């Protein structure tokens, strides 16, 4: 074989390798060239409710990365576009419009608070786009016939009230003083506390309120103490919970303090210190997952979520990041099953999320219930030695 023939053969081999390589590149490119599935997320990353929004944002980022590392959704990468509402209803509205009109998302997860979520209800219904809220107020999804496109993952506030009153009834408590923050969350909780009290044979002997920025509730608690109440129920999120706890402790009220499910963060225990000892609240099982029986249907997912979150962010999940976990996973499951069709996504969540274990409980969505949880998903938890303990 001449030198020229040898060179020609070498070039042929090289060209063959290049063509094969190009074919492989095209195949890989085609695999990942599918349009991303875009989901919007509105969280209170900054502002007064940032203790909610920060773990929600982190959770969404973590899930996006995990899903894409595993190949995306039917070959489509997942893109979660996160917007900061700054804990402000007006900002939440603006970010929702941006996500719908500019980003053309298939669904929105969040917002973090009841007030922000309520502000988005007419917008999402008009846009015919699913919203899976991370807030608790019953009015977010009720009445269902007026909330066709709206779902939520936290337990209903009235379910929390039922859990509190049921426990109180067993303890022989028949008169209570209630203390609620003047926000959408507080208003919704107060309404449930008032409406459900007669059903459980409980009389509200004091009904006090405070502002979200108030730094002392001694006056309100003193009135409750003078009313003869056998227990105090505080309904708020954020710093107000800690202030009430410290004031309750300093006043040596001698009656138990119950908090709403907004109490479900170890940070509250840390900030309240020794004053938090003995405080009772109905909470989702995420905060006590390690105390659940091994065969509990939620235990594996709770353990996995907490492990992954702590490994990634070196912080506490609390119950709030779990709300975002459940919301994102519902949307991604729907996308995997029905594709990028808003109506089909909505219908799937409403009719197919059945016996579905999430961090907030075992969900059973239906055309009559766009939350799918009841009081059975809550554990009565008390603070003992700076940690959560399940009340028997």
Domains for the chain: give ranges and CATH numbers. 37-155+295-374 (3.40.50.2300), 158-290+378-390 (3.40.50.2300)
Residue whose tokens read 């449930």: 192
- How does DSSP classify residue 366? B
- Dist. CA 296–CA 159, nearest whole Å: 21
The closest of 87, 90, 99 to 135, measured between CA atoms, is 87
The helix/strand/coil state of 256 is coil
CA distance 197 to 230: 14
Place of tokens 């402790």: 249
SS3 state of residue 341: coil
Measured in degrees and rounded to the nearest 5, phi and psi for residue 208 equal -115, 155
Neighbours of 122 (CB within 10 A): 11
Instruction: Work out the number of other CB atoms within 10 angstroms of the CB of residue 82.
Output: 20
Closest C-alpha to 292, from 176, 371, 388: 388
Q: Return the closest-CA partner of residue 361 out of 259, 256, 282, 244.
A: 282
Return the C-alpha torsion angle 260, 262, 263, 268, nearest 10. -150
Give every CB contact of residue 206 below 8 A, 6+ residues apart in sequence: 177, 178, 223, 224, 227, 229
Reduced to 3 states, what is the DSSP secondary structure of residue 345?
helix
Query: For 96, how many CA atoms within 13 A lie in the half-sphere containing its CB?
Result: 31
Is residue 206 within 8 A of residue 228, CB to CB? The reply is no
The whole-model pTM stands at: 0.84
- Taking the CA atoms of 45, 49, 50 and 55 in sequence, report the sign of the dihedral they define: negative
How far, in Å, CA of 95 to CA of 217, rounded?
34
DSSP state of 31: H
List per-residue pLDDT tens for the chain, 392 residues long. 543 444 344 334 433 433 334 444 344 444 446 899 999 999 999 998 898 999 999 999 999 999 999 999 999 999 999 999 999 999 999 999 999 999 999 999 999 999 999 999 999 999 999 999 999 888 999 999 999 999 999 999 999 999 999 999 999 999 999 999 999 889 999 999 999 999 999 999 999 999 999 999 999 999 999 999 999 999 998 899 999 999 999 999 999 999 999 898 888 999 999 999 999 999 999 999 999 999 999 999 999 999 999 999 988 777 899 999 999 999 999 999 999 999 999 999 999 999 999 999 999 999 999 999 999 999 999 999 999 999 97
- Kindly tell me the burial class for residue 198, based on how many C-beta atoms sit within 10 Å of its own C-beta (0-12, 13-18, 19 or more): exposed
Peptide bond into 111 cis (omega under 30): yes
pLDDT computed for residue 33 by the predictor: 60
204 DSSP assignment = E
Measured CA to CA, the distance from residue 175 to residue 184 in angstroms comes to 25
Structure tokens belonging to residue 357: 């274990």
């Amino acid at each position: 074989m001449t030198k020229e023939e040898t060179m020609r053969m070498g070039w042929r081999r090289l060209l063959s390798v290049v063509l094969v390589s190009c074919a492989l590149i095209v195949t890989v490119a085609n695999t990942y060239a599918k349009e991303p599935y875009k989901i919007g997320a509105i969280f209170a990353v900054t502002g007064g409710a940032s203790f909610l929004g920060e773990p929600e944002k982190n959770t969404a980022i973590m899930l996006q990365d995990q899903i894409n590392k595993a190949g995306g959704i039917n070959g489509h990468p997942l893109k979660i576009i996160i917007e900061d509402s700054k804990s402000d209803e007006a900002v939440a509205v603006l970010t929702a419009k941006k996500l719908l009109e500019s980003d053309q998302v298939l669904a929105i997860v969040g917002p973090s608070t009841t007030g922000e979520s309520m502000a988005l209800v007419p917008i999402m219904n008009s846009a015919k786009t699913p919203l899976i809220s991370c807030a608790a107020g019953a009015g977010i999804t009720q009445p269902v016939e007026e909330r066709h496109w709206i779902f939520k993952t936290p337990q209903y506030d009235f379910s929390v009230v039922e859990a509190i009153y049921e426990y109180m009834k067993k303890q022989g408590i028949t008169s209570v003083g209630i203390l609620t923050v003047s926000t959408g969350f507080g208003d919704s909780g107060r309404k449930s506390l008032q409406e459900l009290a007669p059903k459980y044979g409980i009389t509200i002997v004091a009904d006090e309120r405070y502002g979200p920025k108030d730094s002392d509730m001694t006056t309100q608690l003193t009135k409750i103490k003078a009313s003869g109440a056998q227990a105090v129920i505080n309904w708020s999120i954020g710093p107000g919970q800690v202030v009430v706890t410290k004031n309750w402790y300093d006043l040596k009220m001698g009656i138990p303090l119950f908090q709403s499910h907004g109490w479900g963060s170890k940070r509250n225990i840390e900030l309240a210190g020794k004053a938090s000892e003995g405080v009772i609240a109905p909470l989702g099982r995420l905060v006590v997952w390690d105390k659940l029986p091994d065969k509990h249907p939620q235990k594996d997912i709770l353990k996995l979520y907490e492990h992954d979150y702590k490994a990634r962010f070196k912080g506490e999940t609390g119950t709030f990041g779990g709300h975002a976990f459940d919301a994102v996973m519902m949307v991604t499951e729907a996308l995997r099953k029905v594709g990028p069709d808003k109506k089909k996504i909505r219908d799937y969540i409403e009719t197919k999320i059945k016996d579905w274990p999430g961090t907030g409980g075992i969900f059973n969505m239906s055309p009559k219930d766009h939350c799918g949880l009841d009081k059975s998903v809550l554990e009565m938890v008390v603070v003992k030695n700076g940690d959560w303990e399940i009340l028997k």
